Amino acid sequence: MNPHMRPGVWGVLATPFIGSTHDVDDNGLAQLVEHADAAGVTGLTVLGVFGEAARLSWAERRQVLETVLDTTELPLVVGCTSLATAPVVDEAAMAVELVGDRLAGVMVQANSADRAVLDTHLRAVHEATGADVVVQDYPVVSGVAVSAAVLGDVVSASPHVTAVKAESPPTPVAVAELTARCDVPVFGGLGGINLLDELAVGAAGAMTGFSFPEALVACVRAWDPAEPEQARAELLDHLPLITFEQQAGIALAIRKECLRRRGLIAESAVRPPARSLPASLAPVLAAHLERLGVR
Amino acid sequence: MNPHMRPGVWGVLATPFIGSTHDVDDNGLAQLVEHADAAGVTGLTVLGVFGEAARLSWAERRQVLETVLDTTELPLVVGCTSLATAPVVDEAAMAVELVGDRLAGVMVQANSADRAVLDTHLRAVHEATGADVVVQDYPVVSGVAVSAAVLGDVVSASPHVTAVKAESPPTPVAVAELTARCDVPVFGGLGGINLLDELAVGAAGAMTGFSFPEALVACVRAWDPAEPEQARAELLDHLPLITFEQQAGIALAIRKECLRRRGLIAESAVRPPARSLPASLAPVLAAHLERLGVR
Amino acid sequence: MNPHMRPGVWGVLATPFIGSTHDVDDNGLAQLVEHADAAGVTGLTVLGVFGEAARLSWAERRQVLETVLDTTELPLVVGCTSLATAPVVDEAAMAVELVGDRLAGVMVQANSADRAVLDTHLRAVHEATGADVVVQDYPVVSGVAVSAAVLGDVVSASPHVTAVKAESPPTPVAVAELTARCDVPVFGGLGGINLLDELAVGAAGAMTGFSFPEALVACVRAWDPAEPEQARAELLDHLPLITFEQQAGIALAIRKECLRRRGLIAESAVRPPARSLPASLAPVLAAHLERLGVR
Amino acid sequence: MNPHMRPGVWGVLATPFIGSTHDVDDNGLAQLVEHADAAGVTGLTVLGVFGEAARLSWAERRQVLETVLDTTELPLVVGCTSLATAPVVDEAAMAVELVGDRLAGVMVQANSADRAVLDTHLRAVHEATGADVVVQDYPVVSGVAVSAAVLGDVVSASPHVTAVKAESPPTPVAVAELTARCDVPVFGGLGGINLLDELAVGAAGAMTGFSFPEALVACVRAWDPAEPEQARAELLDHLPLITFEQQAGIALAIRKECLRRRGLIAESAVRPPARSLPASLAPVLAAHLERLGVR
């Protein structure tokens, strides 16, 4: 297994934009990195779905990676957007080139419900680039519904797969089956909405971008299967915001506005066709943050 | 507006089954009714989606209604399963016949994104039966995606529509738009997962079947827009169970097992093809309940 | 196997409506029955999806069945709309009561991808009613995606299943797998759009409601695996209308208007929320029919 | 409007692969180009969905474009795979660089149901690259359902949009509405399965990759609204193969095998996770081709 791939919280970085042309905001990005680092994350996941990688140019993807690399010493997981081998290899090769030995893995979408197709895909990406692979199972984005049984078997037979990000609801069921079938760490995602349940069935932590990573870190650090009460207490006060943030279709818009109100980024724009924050939710969001000490 | 249709919590009743043939369990049903009544609900919603109405025979639907009517004096909303006018009229007519003047409304699915089609449908059900109508907007079940703007306009022009159950995520956005467009109470659903946010944008309460209705009642009673803190405090301790219960595809199985462990029903079976409780979640569920004092 | 369940074309009957209230039109229905009978169909499928059974009241369903029974001596398949056992038993019981020994089977939707759930469901319907079962695999309506392998195995182990209606595209692939796994007749549907290909892989015919059943009958009667040319020739002239009729979301509206222009029914209305014929297609439809001698 | 954007048939090129590593087969590609050119197509569409652009590396995309440019003088439409502006600009810029003044347009997916978002996206791609834009409305691939009314209005207000490829079924309804709203040519796609109907409501031709482009060319050339019979006759003999080829999920696999059996490409492999040709269909495919003179 990749030496960087340790349990805990892997922060999924948003990509902040600035100005009417929605340029990548290097300063904001660096502040997000520093905040996550200070919050105690194990590593960072860059160019993921909520990093809006699918809405960045090729040059902007390099820019994002370089800014992150310049800002932190944390290990990185680098997301790949495509579903087919050849373009994923393009994406993974850039990650290998830029991140070098700080690369914990390239994150590749589970692209097929077929065991052989999925196995061949993951192996091909590894063989072409040398990168270890984190498999992301995220059907709402990939459109692919692979069973946890098939995914677990493929992973357990693939020494180059170093972790799984399980985002196919009901995720606690998937995490339970994956951890029973393979030895690599399995992380929950989806903003942490079922983090306590995922930990209870064996998750190694969370790989997600909730706007208060420190709460996820506190929860995961406190996790003790024999004494779940402490982890629960660490998360509880943030749970209303987690359920607010994790709304279908607008989760990223909410998250970025939370980050902006926390002073971490200058603007909260998402790139179209992603949906902006509905105006009706602005006061609700403000009240959530005020309750957590952000004014 | 129907005199029974008051703000608060409307408990959506599960239908308990017993034995290898999954017969309707009248005793369990009566206990659920009594528990909800004692918990302080405003009324009950019978034969809803989570009452498994779509998996009951016609005789069983009558049996459920009669058992509920025999057990409580609370007003009732009676769910209709179909999407077209003629069979909904069949369902609504039985509700009118059995429930009489305790009927707060028949709950009818929003069946079209087209303003005129939806309006005609709701009016026809009312005119054929005399029943007031609660509109349920629940695309994951109906397959229909109607905008809140269209729905709100139809409702505001329909004196026979007496409430809306808003279950098209992101629900707080929908509730905000609906309450801006029409005067009838708008209820959140979905197990209460965004109840605080729905209340913040004007929801009249919740119409849902969370296994601890007393927690929803306490939250809604405590709601004060100027002082949201108290309602938040009332709900917070149950929020981890709400997020656990509200898992895609298995929410009803979890809920029924919670009700069973609370001693309210004898067995937790759901009728196929609904999905049973995955074994991996049983200890997680037990821990949630233990934390809430159920052993 | 049910003695009535013979290869050939089973005509799926539309339910014609008349007047502003969309009442069931018994005269039109009888004419449709007589036309199909004269066209040489093996039997009729009543109360199917395209018979708009889901938009009929319970009394109207009886009315439709009785009208058909009064009009023809053909054997009948009677469609069931629900996906769960108890309400399907209600529907099947009415079919048994009314149709008696002319019942070739009740048509039940494949309601689960799970072998045991599906098997139990089909058996329970048979045991409760004595009816043989035709399984319909129609995911666009049922929302259920069962593999042909599982479906074939269930059918082959179920002596009470007497036929399959295969409507999960790509249907020729499904028909090939089903006919390899089970001995009962497998029928294509979907308006006959892939009828030639379905016959080529072993289909026993078609069970569908194309507006010119005589063309389907001629094709199926002419089918000879060693000499496919003749069947092809019989269908070819109607294939442009088949592809026109089989348009997503408006197939039934097109079909009913074809039947009206043929003089078989008085009005072509579909019940909402089904979509009406777009005005832009009226002249295209007229040209298709004119080409086939209908003016 | 772009001077190259003329009515007729635009052939969507498949990308042939060769060997166990599925390398791009330049020879096969050149033969496909030459065949389409000889068949009389108006232009070629390269790197479209059925050209498997989403499964090519960046270098392979260049290779495909260069091979096509070296083989023909026909004008080209170049497909873009992404849904967001920045990566589409990357793709469009390569098209402009390589294709130069033979570029009839870059083909951009309709990426939003929102008028302003769609309008801004199309304009931004044009302004960043200078390329004219062909809008493709293909919800099964894009996941975006935009109404023909919104799309038509956006197109009619966008001088940089030079054509529409309408692939949102029912396509004849969409083509009718689009041609009523805007002046640019509107092309049907989807293998030509509704070509006659699309022509009847004003389509300028077809932009698709049916394995016998000569049949589409003959049909479109023969089209005369006053005398539709001739165009119908030109297409009719190929219509059974069109309906066979246009099967959900396996259309490209069928098409490539047809091209292979016609001797145009050496191998018919599709890149995973695309689905291969089911073995059960091989003899059916052979019979279709034999009927058309291919042995």
Give per-residue pLDDT as tens, B8-28: 999 999 999 999 999 999 999
Q: What is the pLDDT of residue B58?
A: 98
The reply to whether residue B236 touches residue A232, judged by beta carbons under 8 angstroms, is: no
| CB distance C132 to C146 below 8 Å | no
All chains having 3 or more CB pairs closer than 8 angstroms to chain C? B, D
Identity of the residue in D55, D60, D273 whose CB atom sits nearest the CB atom of A112:
D273
Which residues on B lie below 8 Å from C143 (Cβ)? 143
Q: Return the percentage of chain A with pLDDT > 90, whole number.
A: 99
Mean pLDDT of B88-116: 98
Q: What CATH architecture is C8-236?
A: Alpha-Beta Barrel (3.20)
- B touches which chains (3+ CB pairs under 8 A)? A, C
Q: Is the pLDDT of residue D100 over 90?
A: yes
Residue A263 has pLDDT above 90, yes or no: yes
Cβ of C58 within 8 Å of Cβ of B90? The answer is yes
Q: Distance between CA atoms of D233 and D224, rounded to whole angstroms?
A: 12
Distance CA D263, CA D276 (A): 19
Determine, for residues A169 and B193 on separate chains, whether the beta-carbon distance falls below 8 Å.
no
Instruction: Look up the pTM and report it.
Output: 0.97
State how far the Cα of A220 lies from the Cα of A243, in Å rounded to an integer.
18
Identify residue B182 by its one-letter amino acid code: C
- Cβ separation D54–A143 shorter than 8 A: no
- The mean pLDDT of A72-76, rounded to a whole number, is 98
Please spell the DSSP secondary structure of D148-217, one letter per residue. HHHHHHHHHT-TTEEEEEE-SSSHHHHHHHHHHH--S-EEE-GGGTTHHHHHHTT--EEEE--S-HHHHH
> Which of C233, C235, C232, C254 lies closest to C245, judged by CA?
C254
Q: How far is CA A213 from CA A34, A36, A167, A240, C257, in A?
A: 12, 6, 18, 15, 60
Give the chain A residue nearest D141 (alpha carbons): A143
Predicted local distance difference test score (pLDDT) of residue A156: 97
Taking 90 as the threshold, does the pLDDT of residue A98 lie above it?
A: yes
Q: What pLDDT is recorded for position B156?
A: 97
Residues on chain C touching B108 (C-beta within 8 angstroms): none
C-beta of residue B208 within 8 angstroms of C-beta of residue B216: yes
Whether pLDDT at A210 is above 80: yes
Region B167-182 average pLDDT:
98
If residue C234 lies in a helix (H) or strand (E), which one and from where to where? helix C228-236
| CB < 8 Å to D280, chain C | 172-173, 176-177, 180, 201
Q: How many CB pairs under 8 A join A and B?
A: 101
In this predicted structure, what is the pLDDT of residue A1?
Answer: 75
> Does the structure show a pLDDT above 90 at A65?
yes
Q: Which of D200, D249, D287 sits opposite C287 (nearest CB)?
A: D200
ipTM field: 0.97
D68's tokens: 């096509």
Nearest to B87 among C56, C83, C85 (CB): C56
Nearest residue of chain B to residue A177 (CA atoms): B280
Chain C residues within 8 angstroms (CB to CB) of chain B: 52, 54-58, 60, 82-87, 89-90, 111-112, 114, 117, 120-121, 143-144, 271-273
Backbone angles phi, psi at C251, to 5 degrees: -60, -45
Q: Which residues of B touch A (CB under 8 A)?
A: 169-173, 176-177, 193-194, 196-197, 200-201, 228-229, 232, 235-237, 239-240, 243-244, 247-250, 278, 280-281, 283-284, 287, 291
Q: Inform me whether the pLDDT recorded for C265 exceeds 90.
A: yes
| pLDDT for res C152 | 98
Residue B291 gets which letter from DSSP? Answer: H
Q: Tell me the percentage of chain B whose pLDDT exceeds 90.
A: 99
Beta strand pairing call for D186-188 and D205-208:
parallel
Q: Is the pLDDT of residue B103 over 80?
A: yes
CB contact under 8 A, D55 and A85: yes
Residues from chain C contacting residue D171 (CB–CB below 8 Å):
247
Report the share of chain C in percent with pLDDT over 90.
99
Cβ <8 Å between A121 and D89 = no
User: Residue A193 corresponds to which tokens in the numbers above?
Assistant: 């909405």
Q: What is the pLDDT of residue A240?
A: 98
Query: Are C139 and C150 spatial neighbours (Cβ–Cβ below 8 Å)?
Result: no
pLDDT, position A155: 98
Closest in C172, C236, C249 to D281, CB measured: C172
- Inter-chain CB proximity C273 and B86 less than 8 Å: no
CA torsion, points A234, A240, A242, A245, in degrees to nearest 10?
-160
Beta bridge partners of residue D166, listed in sequence order:
D137, D188
d(CA C134, CA C117): 16
Give me A102's structure tokens.
Answer: 């700080």
Say if residue B1's pLDDT is above 90: no
Taking CB atoms and an 8 Å limit, are B89 and C57 in contact across chains?
yes
- Minimal Cα–Cα distance from C245 to chain D, Å? 10
Q: Binning pLDDT at 50, 70 and 90, where does residue A22 land?
A: very high
Q: Which long-range contacts (CB under 8 A, 24 or more apart) does B147-152 make?
A: B147/B113, B148/B173, B148/B174, B148/B177, B148/B178, B148/B181, B149/B177, B149/B181, B150/B113, B150/B114, B150/B115, B150/B118, B151/B110, B151/B118, B151/B178, B152/B177, B152/B178, B152/B180, B152/B181, B152/B182
The beta-carbon contacts of B181-187 under 8 Å, at least 24 apart in sequence, are: B181/B148, B181/B149, B181/B152, B181/B153, B181/B155, B181/B156, B182/B152, B182/B155, B182/B156, B183/B156, B184/B1, B184/B5, B184/B155, B185/B5, B185/B6, B185/B7, B187/B10, B187/B163
Q: Hey, how many other C-beta atoms are within 10 angstroms of the C-beta on A180?
A: 14
B232–A236 C-beta distance less than 8 A:
no
Contacts of C273 in chain B (CB under 8 A): 83-84, 111-112, 114, 117, 121, 144
What value does the mean pLDDT take over residues C12-35? 98
* Two structure tokens written together for D131: 């390329």
Contact D112 A273 (CB under 8 A): yes
For A271, the closest of D84, D89, D90 (CB atoms) is: D84
Give the per-residue pLDDT at C1: 75
Phi, psi for A45 (deg, rounded to 5):
-110, 120
CA nearest to C148, candidates C224, C201, C101, C78:
C201
Contact at 8 Å (CB) between D224 and C225? no
Predicted confidence (pLDDT) per residue in B186-239, tens digit: 999 999 999 999 999 999 999 999 999 999 999 999 999 999 999 999 999 999
CB contact under 8 A, C58 and B87: yes
How high is the mean pLDDT of chain A? 97
**pLDDT of res. B295:** 83
Residue A128 has a CB neighbour count (10 Å cut-off) of 17
Examine the pLDDT at C295 and tell me if it is beyond 90: no
- Tens of pLDDT, residues D191-243: 999 999 999 999 999 999 999 999 999 999 999 999 999 999 999 999 999 99
CB contact under 8 A, D56 and A87: yes
Q: Chain A residues within 8 A (CB-CB) of chain B? A: 169-173, 176-177, 193-194, 196-197, 200-201, 228-229, 232, 235-237, 239-240, 243-244, 247-250, 278, 280-281, 283-284, 287, 291
- Could you tell me the pLDDT band of residue D1, with boundaries at 50, 70 and 90? confident
Helices (H), chain D: 26-39, 58-71, 85-99, 115-129, 139-142, 148-156, 171-181, 195-200, 213-222, 228-236, 239-245, 251-261, 282-291
**Residue A21 — pLDDT band, cuts 50, 70, 90?**
very high
| Cβ neighbours, 10 Å, residue D73 | 7
Q: Does pLDDT of D295 surpass 90?
A: no
Measuring CA to CA, which residue among D225, D285, D294 is closest to residue D263? Answer: D294
Distance from the D288 Cα atom to the nearest Cα atom in chain A, whole angstroms: 29
Chains that touch D (3 or more CB pairs under 8 A): A, C
C102 to chain B, closest Cα gap in Å: 25
- From chain D, which residues contact C within 8 Å (Cβ)? 169-173, 176-177, 193-194, 196-197, 200-201, 228-229, 232, 235-237, 239-240, 243-244, 247-250, 278, 280-281, 283-284, 287, 291
Q: Is there a contact between B117 and C272 if contact means CB atoms under 8 Å apart?
A: yes
Chains that touch A (3 or more CB pairs under 8 A): B, D
Verify whether the Cβ–Cβ distance D247 to C173 is below 8 Å.
yes
